[in-house]
A and B are shown apart, each in its own frame.
Chain A
Amino acid sequence: MGLVGFLTELRHRGTAADYNELVQRTPYARFLGLSIDSVDAHGRLLTRLRFDQAIVGNPNLPAIHGGVIGAFLEMAAIFQLVREGEGDRLPKPINFTVEYLRSAGPRDAFARATITKHGRRVANVRVHAWQDDPDRLVAAAHGHFLMPQGS
């Protein structure tokens, strides 16, 4: 279940089912319980983090672990970059900053990534995450990724 040939094919078709296949091929995305709910008319992915007791960081609130939220946002950024990139390798994170705006409660969370700048080698991405209301963010993130060069 490698990626060679797959990412190019994925980009070509690009339905939610295709991205869920990428999730299935990525052990850590599967482990976290991620899925792609939809790809809208502009090609923007809606990524879901399924709640599970195992992703809790603070059991008193309870709240999802901050690291899991960060990982979720980074993964949402990578999926969006796969769609807008080229080549058959995954983008590599250079840096990533997560801002925690509210504690994430014991239910599913959603994320959408926007590519702010797609340079030749480096892309800048912003990601927003929410639970019940897209206007009440639980976290926001931004980062730079090294883009694979098309072959």
Chain B
Amino acid sequence: MPQPILDLVCGDLQRLIAHVPHARLLQMTVVDVGPGECRIRLPYSDRLVGNPETGVVHGGVITTLLDQCGGSSVLAALEELTSIATLDLRIDYMKPATPGRDIVGYSHCYKLTRNVAFTRAVAYHESVDDPIATAVGTFMLGANRAQPAILGAS
């Protein structure tokens, strides 16, 4: 199965998210990419704390990580690049993230239809079997007339 996205990033996986200002701000790094799969690391930062009493990262940060992972896993599943947009995203929070530790997000795009992509994702520290949060998302394909953002300004 052709994966145009891998040709496009040609070995520099970071290019998958380098065009996304907010991903840069959070200093996300792409760990690995495979067919319909993407893993992204989010470094801990004091700025991301949602509860000053505990130092635990805000749930919304996990949402951002899993949205970014979900979209990237869809790009990694496409046989022809197109613009995508999140249609919906549901996050289940299993346990608080441990203060001071990086969070890894992994998403799998397990089904593509003509218009819609379906994803499952998990956020964790060490192992996907010990999740901080899990998510399911759907993404619209050919979401807008602008060319895919990864290709730069249209």
B92 and A94 contacting across the interface, CB-CB below 8 Å: yes
A27 and B52 contacting across the interface, CB-CB below 8 Å: yes
For B55, the closest partner residue in chain A by CB is: A27
Tell me which residues across on chain B come within 8 A of A65, comparing CB atoms.
20-23, 64, 67-68
Contacting chain A: which of B5-13, B81-89, B111-119? B81-89
Query: Which residues 1-26 in A have Cβ within 8 Å of B in the complex?
Result: 1-4, 25-26
Query: Which residue of A28, A56, A96 is within 8 Å of B47 (Cβ)?
Result: A28
Query: Which residue of A26, A53, A58 is within 8 Å of B52 (Cβ)?
Result: A26
> How far apart sit A71 and B50, CA to CA, in the bound complex (Å)?
10
Tell me which residues across on chain A come within 8 A of B153, comparing CB atoms.
59-60
A60 and B149 contacting across the interface, CB-CB below 8 Å: yes
Tell me which residues across on chain A come within 8 A of B67, comparing CB atoms.
65-67, 70
Tell me which residues across on chain A come within 8 A of B58, comparing CB atoms.
26, 28-29, 71, 74-75
Residues of chain A at the chain B interface (Cβ within 8 Å): 1-4, 25-32, 53-61, 65-68, 70-72, 74-75, 89-90, 92-100, 103
> How far apart sit A29 and B152, CA to CA, in the bound complex (Å)?
30
Closest chain-A Cβ to B50's Cβ sits at a distance in Å of 5
For A25, the closest partner residue in chain B by CB is: B52
Residues A31 and B47 in contact in the complex (CB < 8 Å), given A70-B67, A72-B60: yes
User: What are the 10 closest A-B residue pairs judged by CB atoms, nearest first?
Assistant: A71-B60, A67-B64, A70-B63, A67-B67, A65-B22, A28-B58, A97-B90, A66-B86, A60-B146, A27-B49
> How far apart sit A33 and B88, CA to CA, in the bound complex (Å)?
23
Tell me which residues across on chain B come within 8 A of A74, comparing CB atoms.
58-60, 63
Query: Which residues 107-151 in B have Cβ within 8 Å of A in the complex?
Result: 144, 146-147, 149
For B65, the closest partner residue in chain A by CB is: A67
Which interface residue of A31, A61, A65, A94 has the most chain B CB atoms within 10 A? A65
A67 and B22 contacting across the interface, CB-CB below 8 Å: yes
